[in-house]
Structure 1
């Protein structure tokens, strides 16, 4: 599977996203709530690795400065190939800087970074739908429009193994 370097949200933000997942599931849209092992957290990934040395990645990310908690605002919906849909947070200069520093740190370990997280390719997003056929995209867009704008309060970061859901909370937020 993959290892992601993610930021996670405060309890209120997480609850709002989980409520959105539940609303979509009730309308026939598969979300992270029921995807694979069902242990997914609402998150925003800075980097997704296809091959990695966990200890090296953990140490590299630990060496990054603590940027502290921050707030993003979602303004819309993103649609990706293969039926994936997500909340679209605004890309601030600070968010781009944070993501680029994480990418540089994990690449320095020799980890294999997924191409969609490379410099200039990354599109920040908070995953909602995992397998929404085109006919259900209007359902996703309507559900998201009902909650916009949506502030996202980031209060921690973690390494998340997408294959198992195992989450290692980091001591700081890069």
Structure 2
């Protein structure tokens, strides 16, 4: 983006007065290009979050279910809010240091007169890279009151690699 794109007016050819609108507003192809870029920006805006690889299967449910990750010296704990689901609707997988939560949420009713809904229905999948070795045979998943908690104990090697660095003043 150039500085000229930030200015809402441009210079017309010759010594005419400055136009209030840039020339690109008159060109339908540039206007279409700008709109497509804006749409892509809106769709992918949520992917720049603090988590390195978090995604969903569609743009409306991007980032669903909401998760919380805590990392202590001995374990990693991942908590996901999956209200409206039962444990049979959720699958928890661990493969090559990536925890995957996936499942499907179906509508409870077949309301054909529904005009508006902010609720998410359909398939979801969240992939969370762990970054450390975990004891795969000791991983536990607990589902209670619409909250899924996955506890991943770290291996002894991963715990011993933790180095505390003293801060000097």
Q: TM-score, normalised by structure 2?
A: 0.23
* Structure with higher RCO (Cα < 8 A, 6+ apart): 1
Which structure carries more helix by proportion?
A: 1
Question: Which structure has the larger Rg over C-alpha atoms?
Answer: 2
